[in-house]
Amino acid sequence: MANDVLVLGAGVIGLTTAVCLAEEGHQVRVWAERLPERTTSAVASGLWGPGTTPRDSAWSRVTFDEFSRLADDPASGLHFERGLQVSSSWSEPPSWVHDFADVDMCAPDELPDGMLFGFWCTAPLIDLPRYLRYLTGRLAAQSVEIEQRTVRDLAEAAAAAPVVVNCTGVAAGKLAADDAVQPVRGQHVIVRNPGLVDFYVEIGGECEWAGFFPHGDRLILGGVRQRGQWSLAPDPEVADQILRRCIAVEPKLADAEVVGHEVGLRPGRTQARVDEERIGASRVVHNYGHDGLGVSLSWGSAREVAGMLAD
């Protein structure tokens, strides 16, 4: 039976969940404090990665399969690219390494300085601004519009619909009174691509690493994880550190033109929350706290929510 569903949030989790529900026949509305192009999702690097727990691994595989289908549509912003992933923290490959396609392990003499292991692989790389527009278009095709609106508490949303899906990311900490949620600040430097076609990312690092992600003429450089920081203002010192680390890996970047700086707040949580509660007469389903894996887990967790509402 179709439900009248109010989805809160218009980042990649909110939009994907709304698309899943609308295309399954539910009557969907979306309320969002920030429109898609102003969310943290819009400034994500866009590299798909596998989940590291059984639940997240299953969700990431669902998402990988969906991305494989969407890559045939140029409007989606999905493109599969070859890239190198390395680690200075791990000497052995993690169990999830073969969730990537076309994996080739590096010999020790093929690794960048200081790295203990690495592998080449093929993975989905998503141009997030374009992808969010694509998802918004799929909602429009189902006559779903996004209303820009600030929700002060879940009771307000529950009074407006019999089913509410809370996809508010880092804002869910306050909205759902969830102390487990904390901001994890990320910052990127955007440069004009000097001709790089492969992505590069250092994995296993806790706070700082080097990574670059090509999206045509635009190249995203990262990265940092700054827990507990709420500032959305680019930090010039952090930007300089990102540039130095990336140039050390790829000297071509030394002359690349810097065209912008981006900051986003990942919704940090030990694990994503997907469960439900009752507020008044309404059913409230939570789908937030995906940290840096929002894109990677998006379709899997959205399908989980859809399955809960189908019940």
Residues 131 and 247 in one domain: no
Asked if 246 and 133 sit in the same domain, the reply is no
- Answer yes or no: do 58 and 204 share one domain: no
The rounded distance, in Å, linking the Cα atoms of 140 and 60 is: 26
Domain check: are 227 and 189 in the same one? Answer: yes
| Co-location of 217 and 193 in the same domain | yes
**Shared-domain flag, residues 131 and 256:** no
Domain hosting 235: range is 81-123+182-268
pLDDT digits 0-9 by tens, 33-53: 999 999 999 999 999 999 999
What pLDDT does residue 206 have?
80
Per-residue pLDDT band at 309 (split at 50, 70, 90):
very high
The pLDDT tens digits of the residues spanning 63-113 come to 999 999 999 999 999 999 999 999 999 999 999 999 999 999 999 999 999
Instruction: Decide if pLDDT at 123 tops 60.
Output: yes
pLDDT at 1 over 70: no
**Same domain membership, residue 310 and residue 258:** no
**Cα gap 43→125, rounded to integer Å:** 13
Residue 198 shares a structural domain with residue 291: no
Mean pLDDT over 270-275 rounds to: 98
Q: What does the pLDDT look like over 145-174, one tens digit per residue? A: 999 999 999 999 999 999 999 999 999 999
Q: Let me know: does 169 contact 12? Beta carbons within 8 Å.
A: no
- Write down the mean pLDDT value for the chain: 97
Q: What is the pTM of this model?
A: 0.97
Per-residue confidence (pLDDT) for residue 24, from 0 to 100: 96
Domain co-membership, 260 together with 307: no
The answer to whether residues 25 and 93 belong to one domain is: no
Q: Residue 152 is part of a domain; what is its CATH number?
A: 3.40.50.720
Q: What is the pLDDT of residues 51-62, one digit of tens each?
A: 999 999 999 999
Q: Mean of the pLDDT values across residues 278-282?
A: 97
Same domain for 118 and 59, yes or no, is: no
CATH number of the domain encompassing residue 91: 3.30.9.10
For residue 73, the one-letter residue type is: D
- Confidence at 119, pLDDT banded by 50, 70, 90: very high
Task: Indicate the number of domains in the chain.
Answer: 2
Q: Residue 81: what pLDDT?
A: 97
Task: Check whether residue 145 and residue 87 sit in a common domain.
Answer: no
